Amino acid sequence: MAFVTSREMFARAMNSDYAVGAFNVNNMEIIQGIVDAAKAEQAPLILQVSAGARKYAKPTYLIKLVEAAVEDTGLDICLHLDHGEDFDICKKCVDDGFTSVMIDGSKYPFEENIALTKQVVEYAHAKGVTVEAELGRLAGIEDNINVDARSASFTVPEEAAEFVARTGVDSLAVAIGTSHGAYKFKGEPYLDFERLKKIHQLIPDTPLVLHGASTVLPEFVNLCNEYGGEIPGAQGVPEEMIREATKYGVCKVNIDTDLRLAMTAEIRRYFAEHPAEFDPRKYLGPARDAIRRMVQHKIKNVLGASNKA
Ligand code: G3H
Ligand code: 13P
Ligand code: ZN
């Protein structure tokens, strides 16, 4: 039981039909819900921390909580920085004991993204830490944008191959139609699987990462809306599309929105049904249970990662 890099996890997932879940963590209940699910399923696990999470909880609290999770569950856990926006935050996390970092240079031109990613790879690899980078833009999909315009922001397979060769990055996040948040598609869900297959063909040894991969479970959206929430029209990536992606090099599937929805739905329900209650343990407990059940479902039925730890 320890903090581990993603290298071994991805090596095992690479030529199989499963992916490792990478779940965003912001507080104790979220961490406990996720690790209990991973332990029950004996699944490999990445816990990831965004800049927003660091700001909210303070880095040291999150690191100590993940240390506690390793000790409590006996699981090997990869502690990963999500969407590191510059060299400094990546360096800080490497120095703090993270075993994996993402440098997200996707907003920069190709050459700048390469230069920044190389700088992080050099620093992180010297300390045995793995690095994820991103090429292509994850955009919200609008009704009136046609497929050609939409594809313009997607990852170009030949560029992905050149990017990986020149940076030495360990894994690559690709843009094939997913986006962050609860409103991923206005019409029919669409992912560019031909593009994904082409990328995987050109860089068959590079683990690919799918950001914006929440399925936005209707169960939780409906609960939220039923108990006073206003999130109409929320739509995620269908479960079968995530399963399909794991066949073409996708080894890491990023999930945050589904955690937020599960937690919020249970808290809303609890408040509505127990208006006189004000002990936070009474509503955070069910919220933690909802996260555990949801993550267990995901590991078993969507990621196919049960018994792969
Ligand atoms: O990719 C975004 C993740 O959902 C993290 O979100 O920056 O609000 O913590 P956050
Ligand atoms: P979701 O918003 O689909 O959960 O994506 C999370 C993510 O990609 C974190 O990096
Ligand atoms: Zn992301």
213 in ligand 2 pocket by Cβ < 6 Å? yes
Which domains are seen in the chain, by residue range?
7-303 (3.20.20.70)
22 in ligand 2 pocket by Cβ < 6 Å? no
Specify whether the CB–CB gap between 175 and 153 falls below 8 A: yes
CA 198 to chain centre: 22
| CA dist., res. 124 & res. 248, Å (int) | 27
> Does residue 104 carry a catalytic annotation?
no
- Please name which ligand lies nearest the alpha carbon of 134: 3
| CA dist., res. 103 & res. 195, Å (int) | 23
| CA dist., res. 208 & res. 6, Å (int) | 12
Q: Where does ligand 1 bind, in terms of residues with CB under 6 Å?
A: 24, 50, 52-53, 82-83, 180, 256
pTM for this entry:
0.97
Which pLDDT tens digits describe the chain residue by residue (309 residues)? 799 999 999 999 998 999 999 999 999 999 999 999 999 999 999 999 999 999 999 999 999 999 999 999 999 999 999 999 999 999 999 999 999 999 999 999 999 999 999 999 999 999 999 999 999 998 654 445 555 666 779 999 999 999 999 999 999 999 999 999 999 998 899 999 999 999 999 999 999 999 999 999 999 999 999 999 999 999 999 999 999 999 999 999 999 999 999 999 999 999 999 999 999 999 999 999 999 999 999 999 999 999 999
Going from the Cα of 215 to the center of ligand 2, the distance in angstroms, rounded, reads 10
Q: Any bridge partners for residue 20, and if so which? A: 252
CA distance from start to end of the chain: 11
Contacts of 87 (CB under 8 A, 6+ apart): 103, 116, 119, 120, 123
Query: Hey, what are 97's tokens?
Result: 């004991």
Q: Closest ligand 1 atom to the C-alpha of 181?
A: 4
Q: Write out the DSSP string of 112-164.
A: HHHHHHHHHHHHHHHTT-EEEEEES---PPPTT--HHHHHTTSPPHHHHHHHH
| CA dist., res. 290 & res. 149, Å (int) | 39
Q: Hey, what amino acid is at 230? A: E
